Amino acid sequence: MPIIHQDTQTFRAPQAWGARPLAEIDGATVRLHWTDQPYRWHVNDGVEAFIVLHGEVEMRWRADGTEQQVLLQSTDVFIASEGDEHCAYPRGEARILVVERAGSV
């Protein structure tokens, strides 16, 4: 039976980066995150898809020792490859759909 989530623009977790697990697909998790605080610099052990559903998120990453950034808005997608060092800085509240290897950071 299908599962329907119609509150992705109003979902709120008890703490920043709190998540609602939505599905696990062939070893990858799909989670809805809410935040109003930055996430720490980190490196995933696999590919990560970061989809902004609501709000704005400044995504920062390091390439060849240089910090780069892009402002993601609703419907924008950021794909971090395995080993890409990155962090997210929301501008106010944001809701983000994250697809990544189960157990990843």
Domain 18-101 sits in CATH 1.25.60.10 = no
pLDDT of amino acid 49: 97
Rg of the Cα atoms in the chain: 13
Looking at the whole model, is its pTM more than 0.95?
Answer: no
Give the sheet arrangement for strand 66-73, strand by strand: 42-43, 85-90, 56-63, 66-73
pLDDT tens per residue across span 49-104:
999 999 999 999 998 889 999 999 999 999 999 999 999 999 999 999 999 998 87
pLDDT of amino acid 33: 98
Instruction: Band the pLDDT of 42: cuts 50, 70, 90.
Output: very high
Q: Where are the domains of the chain?
A: 18-101
pLDDT of amino acid 105: 65
Element (H, E) at 37: none
Distance, in Å, from the CA atom of 40 to the CA atom of 28, rounded to the nearest integer, reads 21
